[in-house]
Structures are given as structure tokens and as C-alpha cells.
Structure 1
Amino acid sequence: MIKNYFKTAWRNIIKHRFYSIVNVLGLFAGITFTLLIGAYVWGELQVNKKLNHSGRQYFLQSEWKGENIHYAVTTLSPIAKRLKEDYPSLVANYYRWDGITSGVTKGDKAFRESIQLGDSTMLSMYGFELLAGNPATALKEPYTAVITAATAIKYFGKKDAVGQSISIQSFSGGKNDFTITGVLKDPPKNSVTNLNNNNNNTIFIPTNTYAFFGRTSLEDWNNTWIPSYIELKEGATIAGVEKAIQQLIQTNAPDGIRANLTIRPIALTEYYLQKDNGLVKRMLYTLSFIALFILLMAVVNFINISISNAGSRMREIGVRKVLGGLRIQFIMQFLTESFVLVLVATLLALAAYPLASPVFAGIVGKAIPALSSLPLYFLMVPLVMVLLIALLAGVYPAFVLSANNTVSSLKGKLKTVKENIVLRKSLVGFQFAIALVVLIAAVIVTQQVSLFFSKSLGYNKEFVVASQVPRDWSPAGVKKMQTIRNEFAAMPQVSAVTLSYEIPNGNNGNEPQVYKSGGDSTKTIGMQALVTDENYLSTYQIPLQSGEFFDSRMLDSGKVIINEKAVAALGYKTPGAAIGQQLRIPGDPTTFTIKGVTGNFHFFSMQNAMGPIIFFNVYTAVVHRYLSFKLKPGNTTASIDAIQKKWSQLMPGSSFEYQFMDDTLKNLYANEIQLKKAAFTATILSLIIVLLGVLGLISLSVHKRVKEISIRKVLGASVPHITILFIKEFAAIVLLAAFVAVPIACYLMSGWLSNYAYRINLTAQPFLLPIIALGLITLLLIVLQTLKAALANPMKNLKSE
């Protein structure tokens, strides 16, 4: 009997192949997209969970009073170690690291690498696997290094590089060989080796070598720039750890820090999702909802066409009833047909997954896990989807049509035809509403992302290229870089060049607390510090509002520049009123004099409002990282080639790894750009699914009403009049769907936009455009489908009567 159900089901699918293909395609698109999103979300939820004892690992996050004071991901450098030493019943282990970038060479290979100067506990605490070397001793001796497998191949052409050496440059211009003591198996994404998007460390050096790089001691309580992690003892409570942290701060931290700092242990399994104001978590929620909407649209589409198509089989049911067919047999038959269609769509989706995942990975900017790497319970999802969707799609025709009496069935009549139409229209309306929500969301996301790149940033990013330089943090090193900068500035392809420690990429250097000289030292203003030369404003075309900027004579010791936000924060009424005023920084004996005031500009993303900025002169601060080039318009590729050639002459052995500011901004808004791409993909899929549904339903409706159309033509109805009959049916549904979708989309997107300090204003445009577009596309499909029937010879359709 079961074999017969499947055989009959397959015959009916072949008989109605057009509607079967429409059903399978829509469901296939929905299931494939849902599988991809599900795998992506699962992969993001696994970040940090594969680390050793992940349930007891915590990241120490700083919270500072006021705004723009210090960096949340760094904290007091001794705190983690002292927790382990002073509270052994609470803390089982700790890890701290100081992140740097420096030039690394091996023979003729020269690159700039991200390096971690970290505690020797890294390998044992997190269980990172070494492909070569002894994990117990790999990070013990000075001038040794553990490198990733990819880095080993990059420099040595093989993974087993233990015993080999690389040369690393210090910040005073010297170089030293570091012996490779371990090769790290490329770790899964985590917040230890890759804390944020700007830092993907590939070389790990023990902290007993920090003096070579001139870094501040990790035992200095004034050092607040160290990412720190702890591992709790089994049974230890986080409340006990927070109390211990507070006691250590009160006992050891300097006054200015003690009064302003609170350290919060964040579970490492949650940190990745919560950082950056929960940006990743919001991304996952958004994509999950989009996937759910797309799948619902596909299911509704499937159900709707199944219901509409099932009504055409009333006579078949009547004949089978006359021949002794039982109701349970009809129910099983319809459910089997539904199951077969859903199974085919699901198998196609599983087969397409390996082909679609690289494409989707390019959209979201992350690798999508292979099906084989997913847990067993995840692979059960497609089976559950098959059974659930088959039941949802088959239950109505199975139970309602099989309950019709034999005489009505033989006449092809359905007692509940009114309810059938109402249900079908409700499902179509639901589908249109979801499609409109997705379309509106995509338009708003696109407009907001466009704002990031079109809104005045306060500086001119066009034709600006930045590249990190070798570091010699000494007066002689800065003077040498000044000479090199002038050589580049003399090139005909370059209009300006500046030497600085920071560029506007959100990757800040220092955030000092500043107060008026002679004022209350406890009432400080947190400011973003920029260390630059005299050409910074001209290169980035930042306007000067009052006073003067730095000059090239190195006479600006003790002079600082601030922006308009800093002027307001310090309480000066106008930029001019701030000129000549004096400022202090707690712990620094220098009295700084304000020499000039610049306009405001964006340093971080538009999630944050523009804040106070203070400029220090690179000739007195001596730290530097970047040369930024303002290119002249023209052949950009030729200009870059010329700079690269000059770079190799002026700084041999140093790599020219450049990035346009446009690309820097793309990195700053990576998650938003990924969301935009995902929303665009969802828009295409939702349109495909909803239009497949409309195509199938219009085709069925025209097929059922072909004699009605012929009679209307005989009685004098025109082709436009007949077409309007079908248009009116769907126009009302689209309008009702819009009435439901607009407030839902407005609520959802207002919440999303509220996370940005600078955002678009919601106008009627992003709501009207999708409604009009969906209406016009639906209209086109209706016209194309009805035109053929309306133009047909009516006698051909009526001759059987």
C-alpha cells in the first residue's frame, strides 16, 4: 500500500509538473538559505567555546567613568597575575598580552606582522595545539617565538620550522633574531589570538622579551593597555572574583585610576557576541530572522499552491470514493505527495549547500562550516523540516478534501470553497507582508551603509593611502622618517605626506584624561590622542578653526592642538577663546598649551558620536606608525607603483603594505557591509519565492477560469477588462500586506538604527519604493499570465460544452 502511495504521488507530480517545479524551486531556495544562515550562526556561536575549560574562562573588560576614557578591551596589566597569586582559591590561571606590529624578515622575505608579547601560560591555559615544539617550554626563553602554521609556510615553505629563526625589528631601529620554538596549529577563531578585527596575531613571544621592544613593564599599575584573561577555579563564583578585583584596585592602583576604573569579568564564551555594543549578536539575530522569514515565505508558497492545486482533484476523489476508497487512504495519499515534493526540495538544498556556501561566505565575509563539521543534531534539522513542512502543506487537502461527500466530489464542488479562497488569500497576503518587510529592511540598511561613506567625515578620504613604517622611536628615528617623508612629498604623483601614530581607522593609540591647568585634577575629560607631524591636516584636509597647527621647526614642545568637541568639553565658549590656555594630564609634569583648534572629524565608526581629540607633536612624542599619502588624481595604479619603488629605495628590507582609506572604512564597517550584502541576497530570494508563488497561483486561477474568460469574451469583454479582473484580486492583497508590513518594518528598523549615533531619518521613500516595486512586478506577472488566455479563441475552450 505504501509503495502505491508513492507511485501515485509521483504520477501526480509528473502530471502537474509545472506546479511541482514551482513548488520545489521556491522551497529549495528557502531551505538552502536557511541551512546556510543556520550554519553561519552556529559557527559564530562556537567562537571561544573550543578553548580549554571554556566555561571557566573570563575576559577582564574595563569600564571607565565618563566618556572616551581609555580602551575597554585593555586593563591594568598586573591585575590578572595578582588575582592568581593573591586569590588561588578563586583563580586557577591567567594570561596577558601586549600587542604590537613590527617588521619581520627572513632572507629576502619581509613583512609587517601582528605580534603578541604574552605570558607563557597561553598554550596550557587554552589548549592550543602545537604541530611542532614542546608546549611546556616553547614560551619560556627570551628571544624565542611560536608562530602559526600559515606563518611558518609563509617564511620557510614548511610547517616544521622549529630551530629556524626570523629577524624582528625593535622600536628603536635595532633588529634581533628570534628562534622558532613552536609551530601553532592554525587556531579556530577566538578572542585570545584574534581579539578584534584589527588584530590577528600570528607570532607569539614571551613577555621576558618586552624590554627589547621598549614596552612598559607588565607589573606597572600605571599600565592600563594590556588585554587580560583569567580562568576560574572549579566552584569559584564570579561575585567573589569581582570583589577580589575591587580590593586589588583599591590597594594598588594610582588615585586617578582607582577613582575612575571598574573591571568586569565577561565570560569568554559570551564576549565575542557582546563586544562592540553587541554588534555580532545583533547581526546573528537579524540574519536568523531573515532566514526564518524566507523559510516561512517558501512554506506558505508551498502550502498555497498545494491547496489551490488540490481543489482541481475533486472528481478524482469522488471516483475513488465510488470505487470504495477510504478517507484514511486519501489522507495518506495527499500527505505522501507533499512529503515527496518537500523531500526532493530538501535533497536538492543539501546537494547545493557545498556549492552555495563559498558564495555565501563571500557575502558575510566568514567561512561557512561544511555539513560534515556540523553536529549530528544540526543534520537532523533537514529531516524535521521535511516532516513538518510536508505535514503543514498536506494537512489541509488531506483532511478537508477527503471529508467532502461523494456526490459533491463527483460534481467537482467543494462545500468550503469560500473558506478555501479566504485561506489562500490570507496566505498570499502573509507572504507579501514578509517580502515587504525584507525589502524595506534591505533598503534602509543600504541607505544607512551609504551614509557611512557619503556623510561628511570631517576629513577628505579620497586618494589617501596609508602604510605602516619601520619604527625607530627615538629623536634620531623621527628625524630620519621626516627626511624620508620629504622625499616622498617631492614625488610628482604625491600632493602631501604625513607621519603619524594614528590614522582615522578606529584603532586608537592612547586616550589621556585631560584637565585645565590650575583646575580640579579629579574632574578630567577623556580625549582621543593623535600623534602627528605638521602635515596631518593638509593630507587629510581637516579644517583649522582657530590658531595654528604644528610647524616643521620642532619648536612645539608642550604645544597641543584640540578639536571643537574638546573646546566644548573643556568649557571654552569659542575656539579662539581656547588658544593659549593650558592643560594638564594626571601623572605628567608637563603643562601643555593649546596652539590651535581643528574642526570635528570621525575617528571611530558612526556608532559613536564624534568626541574630544587632542593632537601631540610627533617630534616630542617620537612614536609613529604610519605614512599617509595624498595622491594626485590620475593614474592611481602608476602612482602606487612609483611609491612602492621609492619605498624600497628609502627603506630597504621593509614591506610596503598599503591600504586606501576607502578600504580602511570598509573594515571599520565590515559587519554593516556584510549585513547589507545578506539583506540584498535575502531580497532577491524573497522576490523569487513570492513571484514563484504568484506565478503558480495566477496560472492555476487562469486555468480554472478559462471557460469563464471565454464566455466573457463572447459577451463582449475586452482583453484589458479580463486582465483587470485578476489584477484587482491581487492588488487588494498587496495593499493589505503593505498596511501590515510598514509598521512592523518601521519598528524593527528604528530599533536597529538606534545603535548608531549618526543615522538616516526614516522617510516615506524606503517604504514606498518596495511597495511600488513589488506591485509592479506582480502586475507584470499577472498581465503575462492572463494575456494568453484572454487572447485565445473562445470557441476552442467552449466547444466541449
Structure 2
Amino acid sequence: MFKNIFKTAIRSFWKTKTISLINVLGLSLGIAICIIISLFLFNELSYDKHHTNAERIYRVKSDIIFGGNSFNMIQCPAPMAEAMPLEIPEVEAAVHFRSQGSFLVKREEDNIKENDVVYAGKDFFKVFTVPLVEGNVEGALDEPNTMAISKKTADKFFPNESAVGKTLILDNKSNYKITAVYEDMPVNSHFHFDLILAAAGLEEAQSTFWLSNNFPTYLLLHEGADPAAVDAKLKEMIQTHVVPALGQVMGESFSLTEFESSGNKIDYSLQPLLDIHLYSNLQGEFEPNFNITYIYMFAAIAVFILLIACINFMNLSTARSSSRAKEVGVRKALGSGKKDLMWQFLTETFLMSLFSFIVALAITVFLLPFFNELSNRSLEIPYSDILFYVSLLGGAFFVGLLAGIYPSFFLAAFEPIKVLKGNLSGRKGSGSVRSSLVVFQFAISIILIIATVSVFSQLNYIQKKELGFNKDQVIMVEDIYALGDQAQSFKDEIVQSSLVDVGTFSGFLPVSGTWRSDNPWWGEGKDPKQQENLVSLQNWSVDFDYIKTLGMKIIEGRDFSVEFPSDSNAVILNQTALKNFNLEGNPIGQRIATFSGNPTDGLSNMDLEYKTIVGIVENFHFESLKENINAVMIYPSKRPQGFASFKFNAKDSKEVIDLVESKWRSIAPGQPFNYSFLDDKFGDMYKAESRIGNVFASFTVIAIFIACLGLFALTAYTAEQRRKEIGIRKALGASVGGIVFLLSQEFTKLVLIAFVFAAPLAWYGMSQWLEDYQFRIDLGWEIFVFSALGVLLVAWGVMGVQSVRAAMANPVDSLRSE
């Protein structure tokens, strides 16, 4: 029996080669996209699961509100990691980290810049599962000036030899002995360190001061420990350590209740390690994380595209019903039952589904490199995983059932007497079902188009928004400290070139990933014990040419100037800072104050530092547009630091790169030359959104293509059903244009109905996405109209092909039997 069914299926496929190929193409493409997205989702959901005790590892997050600013960050006080295992019985071990940027690393002569460097506490290998290639985890990070390095770093500096016991030189001054070499951290880890330095050698890590939050802290709980109990004990640690520290600084009369009633807050809580990659977007993250919202969105896209492909199969199967109708009639007349016919058609569907999965795997192999490039991932097909093949077979069965169940019912329902007379009508309501399926297809396509247009509109808004500084044609030269006392000469020689307008030294730049520092200030004469007088400020140390180089706008007062010796104690505030200080009268010339000295000495024993306001700069964005503009003060420093940034006027940036590099090589031979452009650094803040937009655009094109295959099928079916009607109309003088309009208007209505359903859903979804941005576009009507018109134009193009073909057919061919 199966042999007969198989032969019939092959004959049916061969008889309608074009329709069958369209069926396979649409189904295979939908399945391939589903496979790619599934690989992507499994990868994102696997982050940090390689750690043996992943479910018992937590990170402490800080929630601090102070001086008008809010800080949701991963950094905690330095002494917390040591205190937790001693004071909280549930904690088995704890480790803290301190990142201080990149380091210049060398074995003997030439430096290599290493970015993935971190200081870590001695229990790093106890908390995290990082397999060693050489060395021993016990005591690996116990001693000052020791470190563990990744295998790729060991291969770089010590090819074909053991690295343990050898020494590397950091920043031309510090010798670090290698105690262990560990396997390269897997891609699906939320941090990737190539050099882990022992925090025992970092003076800041030994601090006992509980008010300075600079150390990301992780802990390993004992088996069966309750995280909620640890959370509660963290609150107790605030009372035990943080409150007394605040009392030391603010005076013995300090009250936490009063502190919180003034709108301030200090809180520490646990964050599961396995939640970090998808649920965390805190300040100070080691690397940009993904977002669980995108997981849901991609999963929905995979399901919808697969459904669209299955709907196409249904519509194409019913569209070619006339070619199978007489076969059904003859089979029923010869005694075949409805179940036999359904089994015949389902088997054909399963075979086509299985073949489509094979084709889909080939399409996946072809498309995966492009998806990896778009998404910045390194996904691979798990050829060696038997579960992968089991999933494919199960998927083929499920898709075959999903795509074949309705056509099987539809075809098996033909009445033999009617179909043998040429009446192709099936069951009542079948037209409504097909129309509903087309509405569903195009509703999904419209949602994807609106989402894609919205994402790119927001990115375009970001690129064109007035930022308060000029990001274009600014080159940033990194690691100025490598020039030593020749840094100023380096800057002076470059600005003398006609290619360059002006240059500045500063590590503080208005893009993420550069330096940040904040502490409380208050207006002169105000009592710092009154918390409402305190203003939390970003403190940016710059040189005298900073404002000019970045094109910032002074709206009150003046810029720094070497002609004013008193500017060594001057400060420029942004508009937010001025508002937060609530100064009376003209702010220019007024002074602000902060603590100077060791804060553990107590407020009464601390000196005060004063700065005089000489200017107010227009607010400028210095973080992502997802954030509000916080208070910033800029003050001058004569010590070169961080980056050397140059504003250039050359049309060809290569000329500027060559100029800067040649000066660098002449002054600092053997030191690596690294540069970037400010606009590129700004764009880096939105790489994730840009990638999501590109992926959305790609999937949208594919979804529309598959949906158009379905529309092609339904147009073909309608034209086939109305073949005699069209013949009569043509015989009575109807024009080709009139018939095309007649066949197209029904489907135009379906697309418009799809838009009515899709628009509110798309508006809600994108409104939720845009909530992440403090500065965002409005979802105007033009986005929705553009999306609707785009779908209509594509649909008309697809319908037009079939409609014109049907309208130009010879009416004699359709009416000769009448």
C-alpha cells in the first residue's frame, strides 16, 4: 500500500513540477529561517551554563540614589567580598573584580595592547569553572604581582613553550609572574578575560571603606542556601558597615531614615548569574548583554515565518485542487474511503516536508555565515549532536501534519458526482479559511515592516540628533601615557599641521567606554550635612582646548583660558548641574565645594576643596540616548591623560591617520599605535540596535517573499475557480484591465484587513521597545502608511502577474464545453 502511495505522490509532484517546486522553496525557506533562529536562541539561552555551580552563583548589584543621580550598577564596596563569607553563613566563597582599562603588555621589547585585563580576588577559580591548561587553581591569585592568562595569550607571548613561572611586563613598569594558564573562555560567557591579575597587589582592593563602589562582586552559595535569606543579610550589612561609614563622613547625627526621606537610597541585592546575559543592563557591565525581549521577538518571528510557510503549502495544495479533483472522484467511485484519501494526501505532505527539511538544511548552511555577520555571532550547525537530527525528524513530522491536515480534509471532502461533472467546489467555508490565512500572513509581514522601519527611524534619529558636541572628524589616539613626558610635544607637533584644527587631552569623552568619575558637591555656604544640598556630579578632568575640540557651546560665562592663571581652580558646569545646585543669582563667579582628604577621617577632620564657576555649557549627551543627561562639571588639568583627540578638516581621513601615526612612531618607537574616530565610538553604543534592525529587515524580506508565494497561490486558485466567468466576461467585451481589477480587488481588501489587525499590535510592541530610550521618535502615522503602501505594492505586483495571465487567456478554451 505504501509503495502505491509513494508512486502516486511522485507522479503528482512530477505532474505539477512548478507548483511542487514553489511548495518546496517556500516551506524550505521557512524551515531554514526557523532552524537559524533556533540555533541563535539556544546559544543566547546557554550563556554561563558552562560553570559547574552556575545555579549557585550570584552577582551583587547596587541600587544607589544620591545627590539627584541614580546609579543601578554592578560595582560594590571593596571590602564586601571579604566580609560576606565571614558574616553570611550561606556564602561559600566570594570574588571581586576591578577593571582599569587596557594595558600595554610585553615579554621583553615591543608592547602589545591587551584590552581584556582585570584584577580578581583569590577565589576566582573557586567561584567560576575555568579549566586550567597549566598550573594549579590553589593559590594561583594569592600573591601580589601574579596572574593567570588565557591559552591564546600564552600562545601569543610564549609560543611552543610553557608560560607558567614566566614573567610579563605591564605598562613598561610592573612585572607579573604567571601562575596558571586557563582555557579560553567560551563565547557564551558574559565576560572574557585574557589576563587575570591578582587583586592582592592592588592597593585599592585592600580598602576597608564602604562608600566607594568600584568592585563588581560575585558569590557562590552553599548547596541548598536560600538567596532570599542572603538578600536580607545584605540589608543587615548596610546597617553594619555602610551606615557607620556615612556617619563618619556626614557626622554622628547621620540618620538613614532622614537620608532615605530626602529621596536618597542605598541598596544591595543578588542577581543570578544565569540572568545576567538576558535580564541585565546595569552600569559597568563587563560586556554588552542581550535582552530577553529580543528572545521573545525572535522566537515569535521563527514561529510566524514557519506558519506563513505552512499556510503557503495549504493554499498551494488547494489551488491545484482541480488537477486532483477527478482523481478523488474516481478513487471514491472505486470504493476509497475518506480516511484512505486523507492518508494518501498526508503521506504526500510528509514526504514533501521531509524533502523540504533536507533542502532547508542546505539553505541553512548557505545563510548561516550571513546571519553570523549580521548578528555578530559564531553559530554552527551541531552535526555531531544526535539530538539535532532527532529534532529535524520530529520537526518534519510536525510540519507535515501542520501543513497537510487542512488540504487533506479539503481534497478528501470532494463529492465524486460533482467533481466528475466538473464542479470543483469543496466544503463550504473553505474560501473564508484561505482568506483568513492570507490575512494572517500579511498581518505578520506588516508587523515586521513597521518594526523594521521603527528601529531604523530611531537609529536615524540618534545619528541626526543634536548631541551638544561635534562627533564628526575627530580622531582619538589611545594610551597617551605610553608617550611619557613627550605627550605634549606629540600634541603640539600635530596641531601645527594644516590638516588639524585643534587637539585636546582627556580620558573623559562623551561616548560610552571612556572614563567616568563622580562625587558629591554643594554650593559654597551650604551645609553638606543637609542631604538636599548635595549634588552628585560627574567630574571630568580635561585640558584647556577640550571645549573647542569637541565643539561644545558655552551659553553663559566663558571657556577655560591659559590667560587666566586662576583657571586652575575653575569649573564649567552643564545645564543639568546648574539646575541641581539651585544657585541664587548669576552663577558665574560663585563657588562650589567638595570634601578633600581621606573620607574615613570624618567630616569635621576633612579639608574642603573649592572650584569657581566660570562657564555654563549646553547640555550634551555623554551616554546612550537611553539615559537622561546627568550633572557634569569640567575642570582643567595640565597633565596629559587618556586620549589625545584631534579635530581635523581634511576630506581624506587617511591623511590624518598617516600624520598622527608618523608622529607617534617617531616619538614612541616600539609602542603600539591605536586610534579610533569619535563618530565610530558613538555608533558603537547602538551596535546592538543596528544589528537587530538589520536582522529584522532580512527576516521581513523573507517573510514577505514567502507570503507573496501564498498570495500567488491564492490568486491562481481564484483565477482557476473563475475561469469560465472570466471567459464569459471577455466574450461580452470586458477589457484585460477590468478583469485584472476584478481579480485584484478581493485580495486588496484582505491586505487592508491585515493592516487593520497588524497596526495596533505593531504600535504597542514598538512603543514598548522605545520606552527604553529617554530620547526617542514619535510613532507617527507615516510609518504605518508607508508600511501599508509597501505591502500593497508588493501584493499588487504578485497578483498582477496571475491576474493578467488569466485575463489574457483565450475565452474559447474555457467555454468550449458549455
The equivalent of 2:434 in structure 1 is 424
Residue deviations 1:547-584 (CA, integer Å, cap 9, x gap): 2333347753433221011111111478x435423232
The equivalent of 2:299 in structure 1 is 288
Task: Supply the distance in 2 between the matched residues of 1:772 and 1:190 (Cα, whole angstroms).
Answer: 41
Q: CA deviation at 1:40?
A: 1.2
The equivalent of 1:314 in structure 2 is 325
Q: What secondary structure, in the 3-state scheme, does the structure 2 residue paired with 1:590 have? A: strand
The equivalent of 1:607 in structure 2 is 626
Task: Supply the distance in 1 between the matched residues of 2:240 and 2:644 (Cα, whole angstroms).
Answer: 42
> Which of 170, 178, 181 is 1:180 aligned to?
178
Q: Does 1:509 align with 2:516?
A: yes
* Kept in 2: contact 1:469–1:654 (CA 8 A): no
The equivalent of 1:675 in structure 2 is 692
> Which of 112, 120, 123 is 2:122 aligned to?
120
Q: Does 1:300 align with 2:306?
A: no
* Kept in 2: contact 1:83–1:244 (CA 8 A): no
Task: Supply the distance in 1 between the matched residues of 2:341 and 2:502 (Cα, whole angstroms).
Answer: 80
Q: Does 1:491 align with 2:492?
A: no
Task: Report the AA paired with residue 36 of structure 2.
Answer: L
The equivalent of 2:276 in structure 1 is 271
Task: Supply the distance in 2 between the matched residues of 1:611 and 1:440 (Cα, whole angstroms).
Answer: 32
Task: Supply the distance in 1 between the matched residues of 2:305 and 2:589 (Cα, whole angstroms).
Answer: 59
Q: What secondary structure, in the 3-state scheme, does the structure 2 residue paired with 1:49 have? A: coil
> 1:573 and 1:415, CA in 2 relative to 1: closer, same or farther beyond 3 A?
farther
> 1:499 and 1:39, CA in 2 relative to 1: closer, same or farther beyond 3 A?
same
> Which of 193, 201, 208 is 2:193 aligned to?
201
Task: Supply the distance in 2 between the matched residues of 1:137 and 1:321 (Cα, whole angstroms).
Answer: 82
Task: State which drifts further: 124-133 or 534-543.
Answer: 124-133
Task: Report the AA paired with residue 509 of structure 1.
Answer: R
The equivalent of 2:400 in structure 1 is 390
Task: Supply the distance in 1 between the matched residues of 2:71 and 2:769 (Cα, whole angstroms).
Answer: 27
TM-score (norm 1): 0.92
The equivalent of 2:285 in structure 1 is none
The equivalent of 2:369 in structure 1 is 358
Task: Supply the distance in 2 between the matched residues of 1:439 and 1:210 (Cα, whole angstroms).
Answer: 52
In the TM superposition, 1:401-420 aligns within 5 A as 401-413=411-423, 416-420=426-430
> 1:318 and 1:267, CA in 2 relative to 1: closer, same or farther beyond 3 A?
same
Q: What secondary structure, in the 3-state scheme, does the structure 1 residue paired with 2:280 have? A: helix
Q: What secondary structure, in the 3-state scheme, does the structure 1 residue paired with 2:510 have? A: coil
> 1:486 and 1:565, CA in 2 relative to 1: closer, same or farther beyond 3 A?
same
The equivalent of 2:163 in structure 1 is 161
* Kept in 1: contact 2:342–2:412 (CA 8 A): yes
Q: Does 1:437 align with 2:447?
A: yes
* Kept in 2: contact 1:515–1:525 (CA 8 A): yes
Task: Supply the distance in 2 between the matched residues of 1:440 and 1:659 (Cα, whole angstroms).
Answer: 34
Q: Does 1:131 align with 2:133?
A: yes
In structure 2, stretches of 5+ residues that fail to align are 251-255, 260-264, 283-288, 600-606
Q: Does 1:616 align with 2:635?
A: yes
Task: Supply the distance in 1 between the matched residues of 2:307 and 2:623 (Cα, whole angstroms).
Answer: 38
In structure 1, stretches of 5+ residues that fail to align are 195-199
Q: CA deviation at 1:719?
A: 0.9
RMSD: 2.5
The equivalent of 2:262 in structure 1 is none
Task: Supply the distance in 2 between the matched residues of 1:510 and 1:71 (Cα, whole angstroms).
Answer: 15
* Kept in 1: contact 2:142–2:198 (CA 8 A): yes
Task: Supply the distance in 1 between the matched residues of 2:742 and 2:340 (Cα, whole angstroms).
Answer: 38
Task: Report the AA paired with residue 276 of structure 2.
Answer: Y
Q: CA deviation at 1:765?
A: 1.0
In the TM superposition, 1:637-716 aligns within 5 A as 637-716=654-733
Task: Supply the distance in 2 between the matched residues of 1:152 and 1:326 (Cα, whole angstroms).
Answer: 73
Task: Report the AA paired with residue 275 of structure 1.
Answer: S
Task: Supply the distance in 1 between the matched residues of 2:219 and 2:123 (Cα, whole angstroms).
Answer: 11
Residue deviations 1:53-109 (CA, integer Å, cap 9, x gap): 11110111110024535561211111121011233x211011111112221124335
> Which of 519, 526, 532 is 2:542 aligned to?
532
Q: What secondary structure, in the 3-state scheme, does the structure 1 residue paired with 2:379 have? A: coil
Q: Does 1:519 align with 2:519?
A: no
* Kept in 2: contact 1:562–1:596 (CA 8 A): yes
Task: Supply the distance in 2 between the matched residues of 1:379 and 1:737 (Cα, whole angstroms).
Answer: 37
Q: Does 1:767 align with 2:784?
A: yes
> 1:229 and 1:552, CA in 2 relative to 1: closer, same or farther beyond 3 A?
farther
Query: Identity percentage over the alignment?
Result: 30
Q: CA deviation at 1:190?
A: 6.0
Q: CA deviation at 1:117?
A: 1.2
Residue deviations 1:405-440 (CA, integer Å, cap 9, x gap): 331232243564541111111111111111111111
Q: Does 1:751 align with 2:753?
A: no
Task: Supply the distance in 1 between the matched residues of 2:511 and 2:5 (Cα, whole angstroms).
Answer: 64
* Kept in 2: contact 1:513–1:527 (CA 8 A): yes
Residue deviations 1:20-54 (CA, integer Å, cap 9, x gap): 22222122222111221121122111112211311
> 1:573 and 1:284, CA in 2 relative to 1: closer, same or farther beyond 3 A?
farther
Q: CA deviation at 1:349?
A: 1.6
The equivalent of 1:197 in structure 2 is none
Q: CA deviation at 1:711?
A: 2.9
Task: State which drifts further: 108-117 or 126-135.
Answer: 108-117
The equivalent of 1:103 in structure 2 is 104
Q: What secondary structure, in the 3-state scheme, does the structure 2 residue paired with 1:685 have? A: helix
> 1:432 and 1:581, CA in 2 relative to 1: closer, same or farther beyond 3 A?
same
Q: CA deviation at 1:286?
A: 2.3
In the TM superposition, 1:468-483 aligns within 5 A as 468-471=478-481, 480-483=486-489
> 1:263 and 1:643, CA in 2 relative to 1: closer, same or farther beyond 3 A?
same
* Kept in 2: contact 1:97–1:228 (CA 8 A): yes
> Which of 126, 136, 140 is 2:142 aligned to?
140
Q: What secondary structure, in the 3-state scheme, does the structure 2 residue paired with 1:527 have? A: strand
Task: Report the AA paired with residue 149 of structure 1.
Answer: K
Task: Supply the distance in 1 between the matched residues of 2:622 and 2:806 (Cα, whole angstroms).
Answer: 62
> Which of 569, 579, 586 is 1:568 aligned to?
579
Task: Supply the distance in 2 between the matched residues of 1:92 and 1:627 (Cα, whole angstroms).
Answer: 45
TM-score (norm 2): 0.90
Q: Does 1:8 align with 2:8?
A: yes
Task: Report the AA paired with residue 219 of structure 2.
Answer: I
* Kept in 1: contact 2:318–2:411 (CA 8 A): no
Task: State which drifts further: 510-519 or 25-34.
Answer: 510-519
Task: State which drifts further: 8-17 or 545-554.
Answer: 545-554
* Kept in 2: contact 1:335–1:398 (CA 8 A): yes
The equivalent of 1:597 in structure 2 is 616
Task: Supply the distance in 1 between the matched residues of 2:266 and 2:492 (Cα, whole angstroms).
Answer: 43
Q: Does 1:584 align with 2:573?
A: no
Task: Report the AA paired with residue 701 of structure 1.
Answer: T
> 1:332 and 1:140, CA in 2 relative to 1: closer, same or farther beyond 3 A?
same
Q: Does 1:449 align with 2:459?
A: yes
> Which of 345, 356, 362 is 2:356 aligned to?
345
Q: CA deviation at 1:126?
A: 0.7
Task: State which drifts further: 627-636 or 553-562.
Answer: 553-562
Q: What secondary structure, in the 3-state scheme, does the structure 2 residue paired with 1:65 have? A: strand
